[in-house]
Chains A and B, each alone.
Chain A
Amino acid sequence: MTVTAVRFTTPLPDLDRVTRVDEVGVNERVARFQSRSIKTRSKVEALKMVLSMIDLTTLEGQDTPGKVRQLCQKAMHLHDSMPGLPHVAAVCVYPTMVWVAKRALGSSGIKVASVATAFPSGMAPRKIKIEETKMAVAEGADEIDMVISRGAFLQGEYGLVFDEVAAVKDACGDAHLKVILETGELGTLDRVRRASWLAMHAGADFIKTSTGKIQPAATMPVTLVMLQAIRDFWYETGRMIGMKPAGGISNSKLAVHYLVMLRETLGNAWMTPDWFRFGASLLANDVLMQLQKQATGVYQSADYFSKD
């Protein structure tokens, strides 16, 4: 059965009309987010929100079904001795591991996200990238995390990058598409803003900072620029787009600062796993430790929290 989709794509936008970005100004705004003091009940609320937004991730050459099953176990049982915890939003794996995750997660409500399009480099023929996407979706992936062609973008081949995203979106069918910009390779915030604008117009449901495979991965300045692009896109089209910073967010304090940034840029509507995700692996345990500390009043040890 095919669902006749109403495509929310528009023609290639004029990237010269995208607002410029001043790096120093962005850093200053970020510094204000980082000086917010999130305490007591708002801290607990935030930490739980962070948990619910995590895409627990394993994207290693050495991944096996066994490894993925263990990750899914963690996803469903973050820390059973602590009641009232939400589950993570999704588990993120390579296409060949989608069937493992799907089976392991069952009806837990946790989504299966799959990378595709020759992640992380994106250096493969279009045909293969589309094939891979279709394969992941067929295996049951709820979400596809694709990478844009950075080389083409830096060359100024915006049409090519745009068409590719649109084509992958087509291949996704009912799956949601996250478009990874790999901001660490784009270099400047101006380019991040333009790439965000392009991806959203091409059909992205989420825009994502990084593959997590190079440095720098997600940073607050880059994320802020992308959130501002999402806001402008919403004002222009009425469409909400989600955002996912990935890589480099390994402690709770930083994650909570991201939530502050999200709240003050886009407001309450985006503060759910439907619209914001953290691409992280070590973050969950740090959040759990912080929650435990809030509940008991004492600092915790990693020995008491299961590793994957």
Chain B
Amino acid sequence: MRPAKGRDVDTQTNKLAFDGGWQYAPAPESTDHIRIDDRYGLFIGGEFVEPARKGAFPSINPATEETLAIVSVATQKDVDRAVAAARKAFNGPWSKMGAAERGKFIYRLARILQERAREFATIESLDGGKPIRESRDIDIPLAAAHFFYYAGWADKLEYAFPGRNARPLGVAGQVIPWNFPLLMLAWKIAPALACGNTVVLKPAETTPLTALKFAEVVRDAGLPPGVVNIVTGAGETGAAIVNHPDVDKIAFTGSTGVGRIIQKALAGTKKKYTLELGGKAANIIFADAAIDQAVEGIVNGIFFNQGHVCCAGSRLFVQESVENEVVRKLKDRMETLIIGDPLDKNTDIGAINSKAQLERIENYLTIGRAEGADMYQSSCPVPDRGYWCRPTLFTGVSQSNRVVQEEIFGPVLTIQSFRTEEEGLSKANNTPYGLSGGVWTDKGAKIFKMTQGMRAGVIWANTFNKFDPTSPFGGYKESGVGREGGLHGLEAYVSLEA
């Protein structure tokens, strides 16, 4: 009989001990292999040029609050110039080039991105705050993969639309967000170019650097000048692009609020548009799910990338009979998440993208508590400088709470219980959003019944937050209109007049 061992775990309060003991030493990614210029101009007509006016703003590292580079502000004149360059390239070499040749140019972009992957990943983490593990393992490889995928379509469009002759639209104006900067750039530029369009793209004002480095790739790949133009700036620059009369198509990823403004602004014009907007996805866990993997799916769905994900699984619905078990496992898993320096390879959760975003999130934490919800946060330490938010749970909430209805865009998860399939489905769909959803159950027929019933453009069954260049992505209802990725993603960039 083994003598009763002094138990090192506190079975009184039944908590596993994740503090102390063997820790992971800092494992920083080095920055001596990257190059960030002090100042950046605008990339128009194949080269970096000075902006019309001397406006500029700093791009800040949200983990350290230090300035990384000074970036130009593109005004109306610059946007005019960029659109003109894009139009010239469209009317000129880009249209005249054979489709296969066009594809080969896009392959070049993909290859160079792969070659410079490490530099891009490091800069992405510095500029936006996401862990180097994410940028290295997910963002940059996926971005390159998107270019590879669409490069292959360039000379095969006759197979994509039965009975139709697909023709390019012309000049595409594209505005992208700060949560996956280079990846969102790839989602926009790759299909646009594959279909024969030229582009004017504006990266988000807090994360312009990888777009500007991408401009170097465009130049080094030898793309004809004006095919890709990168103009930096904030809301006004974006508006100038959206409203420009010589742009044929607008692609926007961002909040539903701004998407609405854009749809209005485009009313009465002939411009085609796609909008990829906000979400408040339901993640539904049934008692017969693979519970441990579902818990990992929850974590993946709302805590990675700091919850800055439009398709984040931010509303958890757990079947009541397993609610305690799921919450207990979730809290244990949260304790092992490491918040810290985005450049540390062991960091799981990086910095919140900006001070403004952190304030927005914290405002919601206040609202949640004021609404009477119970708030729980993991106990991990956070650095002194920089913008940080611990992984957070809200329990004791229902569909009528603001924190359950509104998109927080941070590592904040609301938890509700449900009892039957109908109830879970009904509550999952009870939202103006419809971007994504998750369902976890081991029963086959139920998987299909739930995935058919959930009104969202991307449904993850027994998994979450999976992306692939071949897989169309986009929302129902106020989460947007149009799809990006896959065969369906070509449609946004062609004219199919019979």
**Which of the four size classes fits the interface of chain B?**
35 or more
Cα A29 to Cα B329 in complex, Å, equals: 14
Across the interface, do B27 and A39 meet the contact criterion of CB distance under 8 Å?
A: yes
Within 8 A of A (CB), among B263-290: 288-290
Across the interface, do A20 and B290 meet the contact criterion of CB distance under 8 Å?
A: yes
Across the interface, do B21 and A271 meet the contact criterion of CB distance under 8 Å?
A: yes
A28: B residues at CB distance < 8 A: 296, 300
Across the interface, do B21 and A235 meet the contact criterion of CB distance under 8 Å?
A: no
Residue of B nearest to A28 (CB): B296
Cα A30 to Cα B294 in complex, Å, equals: 14
Cα A205 to Cα B3 in complex, Å, equals: 12
Known: A38-B24, A42-B23. A21 touches B346 (CB 8 A): no
A82 at the binding interface (Cβ < 8 Å): no
Known: A240-B5, A264-B336, A274-B5. A25 touches B23 (CB 8 A): no
B125: A residues at CB distance < 8 A: none
B161 at the binding interface (Cβ < 8 Å): no
Across the interface, do B290 and A35 meet the contact criterion of CB distance under 8 Å?
A: no
Partner of B22, one of A25, A35, A234, A271: A271
Cα A41 to Cα B290 in complex, Å, equals: 37
B445: A residues at CB distance < 8 A: none
A238: B residues at CB distance < 8 A: 11, 14
A235: B residues at CB distance < 8 A: 14, 328
Known: A29-B293, A42-B25, A268-B21. A37 touches B16 (CB 8 A): no
A22 at the binding interface (Cβ < 8 Å): yes
A293 at the binding interface (Cβ < 8 Å): no
A40: B residues at CB distance < 8 A: 25
B24: A residues at CB distance < 8 A: 36-38, 42
Interface centre among B7, B20, B288 (most CB of A within 10 A): B7
A65 at the binding interface (Cβ < 8 Å): no
Known: A20-B442, A42-B23, A269-B17. A37 touches B293 (CB 8 A): no
Return B151 CB to nearest CB of chain A, in Å. 28
Known: A46-B22, A228-B292, A267-B17. A37 touches B2 (CB 8 A): no
Known: A21-B293, A267-B9. A176 touches B25 (CB 8 A): no
Across the interface, do B290 and A25 meet the contact criterion of CB distance under 8 Å?
A: yes
Across the interface, do A49 and B22 meet the contact criterion of CB distance under 8 Å?
A: yes
A19 at the binding interface (Cβ < 8 Å): yes
Partner of B291, one of A19, A41, A176, A266: A19
Cα A24 to Cα B296 in complex, Å, equals: 12
Cα A267 to Cα B8 in complex, Å, equals: 10
Return A165 CB to nearest CB of chain B, in Å. 16
Across the interface, do A240 and B9 meet the contact criterion of CB distance under 8 Å?
A: yes
Across the interface, do B345 and A37 meet the contact criterion of CB distance under 8 Å?
A: yes
A234: B residues at CB distance < 8 A: 9, 16
Cα A3 to Cα B296 in complex, Å, equals: 44
Within 8 A of B (CB), among A255-308: 259, 263-264, 266-269, 271, 274
Within 8 A of A (CB), among B9-54: 9, 11, 14, 16-27
Return A192 CB to nearest CB of chain B, in Å. 12
B345: A residues at CB distance < 8 A: 35-37
Return the CB mask of B132-148 against A: 1 if under 8 Å, else 0.
Answer: 01000100000000000
A45 at the binding interface (Cβ < 8 Å): yes
Residue of A nearest to B9 (CB): A269
A37: B residues at CB distance < 8 A: 24, 27, 345-346
Return A250 CB to nearest CB of chain B, in Å. 22
Partner of A41, one of B25, B289, B296, B300: B25
Return A181 CB to nearest CB of chain B, in Å. 18
Return A58 CB to nearest CB of chain B, in Å. 25
B64 at the binding interface (Cβ < 8 Å): no
Across the interface, do A5 and B21 meet the contact criterion of CB distance under 8 Å?
A: no
Across the interface, do A269 and B7 meet the contact criterion of CB distance under 8 Å?
A: yes
A26 at the binding interface (Cβ < 8 Å): yes
A157 at the binding interface (Cβ < 8 Å): no
Instruction: For the A-B complex with A231-B16, A266-B16 known, give 12 more contacts whose Cβ atoms are closer than 8 Å.
Output: A25-B293, A25-B294, A26-B292, A28-B300, A38-B27, A39-B27, A40-B25, A235-B14, A238-B14, A267-B18, A268-B19, A269-B8
B residues with a Cβ closer than 8 A to A are 1-2, 5, 7-9, 11, 14, 16-27, 133, 137, 288-294, 296-297, 300, 328, 332, 336, 345-346, 442, 462-463
Task: Show 9 residue pairs from A and B whose CB-CB distance is below 8 angstroms, ordered by the A residue.
Answer: A21-B290, A41-B25, A49-B22, A231-B16, A231-B332, A240-B5, A267-B17, A268-B17, A274-B5
